Structure 1
Amino acid sequence: MPLSAGISFFIILLVALATFGTRVIPFLVFPRGKEIPPVVQYLGKVLTPAVIGMLVVYCLKETPVLSGSHGLPELIAVVVTAGLHVWKRNNLLSIGVGTVLYMVLVQTIF
C-alpha cells in the first residue's frame, strides 16, 4: 500500500523530531558546569566496546567453519578490520574497509 505525500511528510517529521530530541536531551539533563554522574561516565567508557563486541558475535555466530570456505573470508575481514582500527583509530574507516573487503572476498575469491 503506497503512502500519500502527507503521511510520508508526517513520518519524516516525526523521525526528524525524534533524532533531534535524542541529540538535545543530554544537554538538557547535564547542562554545562553540572557534574556528570559516575555511572554515566562509566557507561560512556564501556558501552561502545560492549556493543561492538555484541555485533561481532552476532555477525559471526553462524559462520560455517566446517564447510565451504571454512570462515576464511570472515576471519580475514575481522583481522583486517581490527588491525586497521588499532592502527588508525577510525571507526568509519575500519568498518568500511572491513565490509568492502569481506564483500570482495565473498563475491570474487571464495
Structure 2
Amino acid sequence: MILASAGLPEGVDLSNTLLILGGICVVTVVLRALPFAAMKFFRESALVAWLGIVMPVGVMIVLVMYTLVDSTDKPGGVGAALIAVAFTVGLHLWKRSATWSILLGTALYVVLVNWVF
C-alpha cells in the first residue's frame, strides 16, 4: 500500500496510527461533552451555586499571591508587582469592571517588568 509508507517512519503502520488517532478523537469529544451532560444534575445544587460565588474571588487571590511571591526573583521584583496590584485594585474600585481591571492591570505589569524596571 502506497499510503502506508508515505511520510511515516519505518515500522509504523498507517492503519494502527489511524486507529490510535480515532480513539484519541473519541475520548477528547467525550471528555469535552461530559461537563455539559453533567450540568443538568448539578443545576439545582447549593454547593455549585456557592462555588459559583466564591471561586472567582478565590482564584484571583491565588493568582495575586502567586504573582507577588514569584516576583521576588524576577525582573522588576516585588515593586512592579505591587504597583500593578495597586493599580488593578484602584481601577476596579473606580470602574467596577473585572474585565478592564484584569486587562489593564496585566498590561501595566508587563510594561513595568519589560520596559521600566
Q: What TM-score does the superposition give when structure 1 sets the normalisation length?
A: 0.64
The residue that corresponds to 2:67 in the other structure is: 59
Aligned length: 100
In 1: Cα distance, 2:98 partner to 2:42 partner = 26
Decide which moves more: 56-65 or 73-82.
56-65
Greater Rg over alpha carbons, structure: 2
User: Which structure 1 residue ranges, 5 or more long, are not aligned?
Assistant: 1-5
In 2: Cα distance, 1:12 partner to 1:94 partner = 38
The answer to which structure has the higher helix fraction is 2
Q: 2:100 aligned with 1:93, yes or no?
A: yes
In 1: Cα distance, 2:71 partner to 2:57 partner = 22
Alignment of 1:1-110 (within 5 A): 18-26=31-39, 28-30=40-42, 36-64=44-72, 71-110=78-117
- How many percent identity over aligned positions? 34
1:48-106 C-alpha deviation (Å, 9 max, x unpaired): 111111111112113329xx855221111001111222222322221111111111112
Structure 1 residues 99 and 29: alpha-carbon distance in aligned structure 2, compared to 1, 3 A threshold: same
User: Which structure 2 residue ranges, 5 or more long, are not aligned?
Assistant: 1-17
